Amino acid sequence: MRMIDLIIKKRNGRELSKEEIDFMVGGFTAGSIPDYQMSAMMMAILLKGMTDEETVNLTLAMTNSGEKVDLSKVSGITVDKHSTGGVGDKATLVLLPLTASCGLKVAKMSGRGLGHTGGTTDKFECFKGFNMALSAGEFAEAVELRGACLASAYGDVCPADRKMYALRDVTGTVESLPLIASSIVSKKLAGGADAFVFEVMSGSGAFMKNDDEATELARSMVKLGRMAGKKCSAVITNMDQPLGAAVGNSLEMIEALETLKGRGNAETNELIYALGEQMLLIGEIASTKEEAHKKLKEAIDSGAAIEKLKEIVSGQGGDIRGIDDYSYLPTASITEKIESDLSGYVASIKCDDIGNAVRILGGGRLVKEDEVDLSVGVVIHKKVGDRVEKGESLATIYANSKEKLEEAKEIFLSSYSFSDNKTEHQKLLHGIIE
């Protein structure tokens, strides 16, 4: 079997067999197939696509290219919730303890933020000492003991995906749906959970820029997971403006803590309940959405959810004082109101610009090795459909550098557009694939 023959076969639009895909992925991971041949194959996949059978075989080959986590000794159904990433994406911060306090076993493997989107791993590091560098055995033990665990993605998990992902970035093949879906699902399968709930974001602040693309990706991931023998569902959400009010690691953690204490804003609550219901249903903790909703609300109202967070954080070595006293969380030295230059109704917000403004403040990274300032960010006061008068505050910005603040402020202001006519508030939930 030769890689050149497989490239020509896919270039001509023909289907690759399981044996051919295993040969390709195994050879590339081992180094016997060079980057330039895999680059040519990925371009052929981008142009010609893959069948469902090809995509699931590619996903399984990537999953089997490295270490897999064994959660078979964990009692009950283990669930992992995955987000495709956005601006102000804080749902997992709430859902991890909230669903665990309802009796669900949540096994969450997560990565760090890159570009204008934040990472769950970074946000949990707001609790000083919080340890996510766990072995596979420690991960499984924590899930069984406390009902939930957040761990960094292991170095040996899906090495084929790491190598392919790096090539996609520099070969113009990032947009290939089979490559996107197989990349996400292969890592989820390697994480060992029994079931997955995917949060797929659509809009200017997300990877998928419109509902058609987001729905296609959601359906593809759900189908892939099911073909691999897992229970899956997906929730498609709006990311044409940041979720909730806070953007930035520590600020988002504070908003999540407020939500767990029953003081969350309506938008964040709507998403939390939609995703939480799917997690409890797929984990067989509830049999109807109504029952799931009731369990989630009771966990917040009774204080069980916030107590579960304390158990999780302390169990992984973190300082729980920041849960009740936010001064123990990373705090910026400079705060400033961003005042509007115009009057009118907020017509739109360039969500990715908000994320980039926070990255300029130091709250994001361009490469994975960059250090992140956990304390910086913005808290937004005006969103799409809101009335604004000239001089009124659009947001509060949190910074540790006056120069970075001024640069970020300019980007933030340019992200807003106004209209004389009221724009309808944007719908948050765009669809659920159950």
Q: Considering 10, 81, 82, 409, which one is annotated as catalytic?
A: 82
pLDDT at position 366:
63
Tell me whether residue 183 is one of the annotated catalytic residues: yes
Q: Using the 8-state DSSP alphabet, how is residue 71 labeled?
A: -
What angle is formed at CA 268 by the lines to CA 265 and CA 274, rounded to 5 degrees?
A: 135
Q: Using the 8-state DSSP alphabet, how is residue 15 labeled?
A: P
Residue 366 CA, chain-centre distance (Å), reads 17
pLDDT tens-place string over residues 86-145 = 888 899 999 999 999 999 999 998 765 545 455 788 899 999 999 988 888 999 999 999
Rounding to the nearest 10 degrees, give the CA dihedral for residues 54, 59, 60, 61.
80
Segment among 57-66, 169-178, 260-269, 296-305 with least mean pLDDT: 169-178
pLDDT band at 223 (very low <50, low <70, confident <90, very high): very high
pLDDT tens-place string over residues 8-28 = 999 999 999 999 999 999 999
Q: Considering 112, 187, 230, 409, which one is annotated as catalytic?
A: 187
Q: Is 35 left (phi over 0), alpha (psi -120 to 50) or beta?
A: alpha
Share of the chain above pLDDT 90, in %: 81
What angle is formed at CA 206 by the lines to CA 205 and CA 210, rounded to 5 degrees?
A: 105
Tell me whether residue 220 is one of the annotated catalytic residues: no
Tell me whether residue 187 is one of the annotated catalytic residues: yes
pLDDT tens-place string over residues 260-302 = 999 999 999 999 999 999 999 999 999 999 999 999 999 999 9
Tell me whether residue 341 is one of the annotated catalytic residues: no
* Residue 118, C-beta contacts closer than 8 angstroms, at least 6 positions apart: 85, 87, 88, 89, 247, 248, 249, 252, 355, 363, 364
pLDDT at position 49:
96
Which amino acid, one-letter code, is at 301?
D
Segment among 76-85, 117-126, 182-191 with least mean pLDDT: 117-126
Residue 374 has pLDDT above 90, yes or no: yes
Q: Considering 83, 183, 202, 415, which one is annotated as catalytic?
A: 183
pLDDT at position 253:
97
Residues 117 and 89 sit within 8 Å (Cβ to Cβ): yes
Query: Where are the domain boundaries for CATH 3.90.1170.30 in the chain?
Result: 332-419
- Six-digit token string for 22: 């295993």
Tell me whether residue 352 is one of the annotated catalytic residues: no
Report strand pairing: 148-152 vs 334-339: unpaired
Sheet strand arrangement including 429-433 = 148-152, 105-110, 78-83, 195-202, 231-238, 429-433
Query: Where are the domain boundaries for CATH 3.40.1030.10 in the chain?
Result: 78-324
Segment among 83-92, 205-214, 224-233, 360-369 with least mean pLDDT: 360-369
Please give the Cα distance from 305 to 213 (Å, whole number): 34
Report the mean per-residue pLDDT for the chain: 93
Residues facing residue 348 across a β-bridge? 417
Q: Is 3.40.50.300 the CATH number for 78-324?
A: no
Please give the Cα distance from 183 to 162 (Å, whole number): 9
pLDDT tens-place string over residues 226-240 = 999 999 999 999 999
Residue 372 has pLDDT above 90, yes or no: no
Q: For tokens 């987000």, what's the residue?
A: 83
3-49 CATH fold: 1.20.970
Top-confidence residue, 162 or 388: 388
Q: Considering 161, 194, 240, 353, which one is annotated as catalytic?
A: 161
pLDDT at position 118:
58
Query: Where are the domain boundaries for CATH 1.20.970.10 in the chain?
Result: 3-49
> Which CATH number is correct for 332-419, 3.30.420.40, 3.40.50.620, 3.90.1170.30, 1.10.10.10?
3.90.1170.30
Q: Which of 346, 330, 336, 347 is nearest to 410 (CA)?
A: 336
Rounding to the nearest 10 degrees, give the CA dihedral for residues 185, 188, 192, 198.
-100
Q: How many CB atoms lie within 10 A of CB 364?
A: 29
Q: Considering 108, 168, 231, 365, which one is annotated as catalytic?
A: 168
